[in-house]
Amino acid sequence: MTSYDIHDASLERLERLQCLAPDPRRAERVRVRCRTQLGRNPQRPAHTAVRTGYARRVLAPVVVGGFCVLYFVALVTTALRLQGVFH
């Protein structure tokens, strides 16, 4: 089987697919549902933004600082072991 045969078989399968047309009633139902959901709780996105802002402002520096402290402690411990302070 050559690559042309594979492409021909795929093309035949694609030609058998049914063409779909947009359904305006379904689209309108989805729009109404989305508007209802968005209008239900307008404070929700602001609350999410506050939590995200908190995570960026507080948690991220704490995590990065913690890793820096651990790295520094490991570095000092390794240096002291090489100097023979710890056996």
* DSSP per-residue letters across 49-76: HHHHHHIIIIIHHHHHHHHHHHHHHHHH
Question: Does residue 18 sit within a domain?
Answer: no
* DSSP per-residue letters across 15-46: HTSPP----HHHHHHHHHHHHHHHHH-THHHH
| Number of independent structural domains in the chain | 1
Question: Does residue 28 sit within a domain?
Answer: yes
Please list the pLDDT of the chain residue by residue as tens digits (87 residues).
Answer: 566 667 788 888 888 888 888 899 999 999 999 999 888 766 665 566 566 677 778 888 999 999 999 999 999 999 999 998 876
Question: Does residue 4 sit within a domain?
Answer: no
Question: Does residue 34 sit within a domain?
Answer: yes
List of residues 6+ apart from 86 with CB closer than 8 A: 77, 80
Q: Residue 73 is part of which domain span? A: 23-83
